[in-house]
Amino acid sequence: MILLNIYGKIEETIISKKLGIGLLNLREDWVEVFVDDMKEEMLLRKNDIKKYNKYDGYTLKQYKPLDIVKDNGWSKEGYLTEDQALRIISQNLIGIEVVNFKNSFIKYKNPYLDSPTCEKNYAHKFINFIGSIQSGFKDGNVIINQIPFVTYSSDDIHNKPLILNFTFNKQDLKRFENYNENCIKSITNIGKLIDDFILTEKDFWLIDYIVNTLFEGDEYNSYYIFKIMSLIEMLLINPKNNGKTFGELENKLPMFILGEEFSDGDKLAFTSIVRRLRNKIGHGDYNGIQKILNEYRDRMIPNYNYDEFEYSIENWNYLSISITLKEILNNIIYLMLTNRKRLKKIQYAN
């Protein structure tokens, strides 16, 4: 079960028909499970209060299930025990899962179930994917508010439960009016774009490949750069050119660098640097990697103020490059989902 930071009673809502993924409240057999998890969360919070409140500047407070229920208007009962309040909260939790596997394209991966027991939950990978690409949707028509994030995954048995931590209180409800409604609209809007894109089995495998690649590790390092560059090349490089990227990448990638801080010369220089860096990483040429990172520092961020107590200079460079590459990838995926003909035209151009 994967829970999101949105709450309340909802009808089962399909996000993507092609992937069979939807939003829903907990089934009754899960309700008591999450009551126990929230009790554990309160015990851990009690320990954190003892641990941190002795330091100046820390004022952690215990979660108050009765207030959460009252503030959100989830019960009209005049008196509730704490256990009753936790049960009501559990009934208002919203999860994401594959609700219609039988009619989904996911059956191409496995005819028996959507998430084999030794694999990560597919719905978790999906919500991570659409959360990861949301910055590419800049016009506000698709992402109305933001994509909600995961607060609990039954796969992550070693992580602390954070269910109560993200529930709304009175002040939150005023500040984030219509948050739940807009989050759900945003998810379903992207889900429709994905459904419109998946017309064939080949389309499914492309989406599935991106979903899985973006889920596996998000630490900004050399591997991350290699991974993101591989996705960019997959979507931009003409497959008829036998994988040759020199010149072609320089012609295509700069049009997806949308930041105003980049001049045309900067865009071309950045593209040349990351193309060569990707090749050096792929061949394990650690001496060549350091030379290109030095070139990146001198050309792209000569006046950057490094805090070496946070990261080494090498990792600051990886971080800077990765953030730009991720934004470029998001812009490409946005075009893929909204105007696949135009992206295909760019890809097959020389």
Match 């490094």 to its residue by tokens. Answer: 306
Structural domain total, the chain: 2
What is the rounded distance in angstroms from the CA atom of residue 200 to the CA atom of residue 207? 11
Q: Average pLDDT, stretch 185-193?
A: 95
Q: Average pLDDT, stretch 239-244?
A: 77
Rounded alpha-carbon distances, angstroms, from residue 279 to 84, 123, 237? 59, 33, 15
Tokens at residue 117, please?
């027991």
Q: Are 138 and 223 within one domain?
A: no
Q: Are 188 and 235 within one domain?
A: no
Q: Tell which residue, 39, 118, 20, 150, has the closest CA to residue 84.
A: 39
Residue 211 lies inside a defined structural domain of this protein = no
The answer to whether the CB of 21 falls within 8 A of the CB of 105 is no
- Res. 130: pLDDT tops 90: yes
Residue 208 lies inside a defined structural domain of this protein = no
Rounded alpha-carbon distances, angstroms, from residue 195 to 21, 77, 198? 11, 43, 5
Domain final residue pick, 148, 167, 200: 200
Residue 243 confidence (pLDDT): 67
Residue 174 lies inside a defined structural domain of this protein = yes
- Res. 347: pLDDT tops 70: yes
- Res. 246: pLDDT tops 90: no
Q: For 82-98, write each residue's pLDDT tens digit.
A: 999 999 999 999 999 99
The answer to whether the CB of 301 falls within 8 A of the CB of 293 is no
Rounded alpha-carbon distances, angstroms, from residue 294 to 219, 244, 273, 284? 21, 25, 10, 17
Q: Average pLDDT, stretch 212-232?
A: 90
Q: Are 186 and 247 within one domain?
A: no
With the C-alpha atoms ordered 118, 119, 122, 124, is the resulting torsion angle positive or negative? positive
Residue 229 confidence (pLDDT): 96
Residue 54 lies inside a defined structural domain of this protein = yes
In the chain, pLDDT over 70 holds for what percent of residues? 100
Q: Are 26 and 172 within one domain?
A: yes
- Res. 214: pLDDT tops 90: yes
Q: Tell which residue, 284, 119, 293, has the closest CA to residue 212.
A: 119
Q: Average pLDDT, stretch 190-207?
A: 96
Residue 89 confidence (pLDDT): 96
Neighbour count for residue 64 (Cβ, 10 Å): 16
Q: Are 295 and 186 within one domain?
A: no
The answer to whether the CB of 6 falls within 8 A of the CB of 148 is yes
What is the rounded distance in angstroms from the CA atom of residue 85 to the CA atom of residue 97? 25
Kindly report which listed range (94-103, 152-161, 195-204, 248-257) carries the lowest average pLDDT score.
152-161
* Contacts with 16 (C-beta within 8 Å, 6 or more apart), sequence order: 126, 191, 192, 194, 195
Q: Are 137 and 243 within one domain?
A: no
Domain final residue pick, 134, 169, 200: 200
Sort residue 239 into left (φ over 0), alpha (ψ -120 to 50) or beta.
Answer: alpha
Q: Are 196 and 223 within one domain?
A: no
Count of positions (residues) in the chain: 350
- Res. 304: pLDDT tops 90: no
- H helix intervals, 198-263: 201-215, 222-236, 248-252
Q: Are 171 and 257 within one domain?
A: no
Residue 210 lies inside a defined structural domain of this protein = no
- What is the domain range of residue 328? 217-347
Q: Average pLDDT, stretch 317-323?
A: 94
Residue 224 lies inside a defined structural domain of this protein = yes
Confidence band for 277, pLDDT divided at 50, 70 and 90: very high
Confidence band for 216, pLDDT divided at 50, 70 and 90: confident
Confidence band for 149, pLDDT divided at 50, 70 and 90: very high
Q: Are 123 and 233 within one domain?
A: no
Q: Are 170 and 251 within one domain?
A: no
Q: Are 187 and 240 within one domain?
A: no
Q: Average pLDDT, stretch 110-132?
A: 92
What is the rounded distance in angstroms from the CA atom of residue 154 to the CA atom of residue 123? 12
Residue 2 confidence (pLDDT): 93
Residue 212 lies inside a defined structural domain of this protein = no
Q: Are 196 and 225 within one domain?
A: no
Kindly report which listed range (36-50, 131-145, 184-198, 275-289) carries the lowest average pLDDT score.
131-145
Summary mean pLDDT of the chain: 92
What is the rounded distance in angstroms from the CA atom of residue 189 to the CA atom of residue 269? 36
Q: What is the value of pTM for the model shown?
A: 0.91
Residue 205 lies inside a defined structural domain of this protein = no
Which of the 8 DSSP states describes residue 26?
Answer: P
What is the rounded distance in angstroms from the CA atom of residue 190 to the CA atom of residue 188? 5
What is the rounded distance in angstroms from the CA atom of residue 321 to the CA atom of residue 280? 15
- Res. 342: pLDDT tops 80: yes
The answer to whether the CB of 175 falls within 8 A of the CB of 27 is no
- Res. 211: pLDDT tops 70: yes
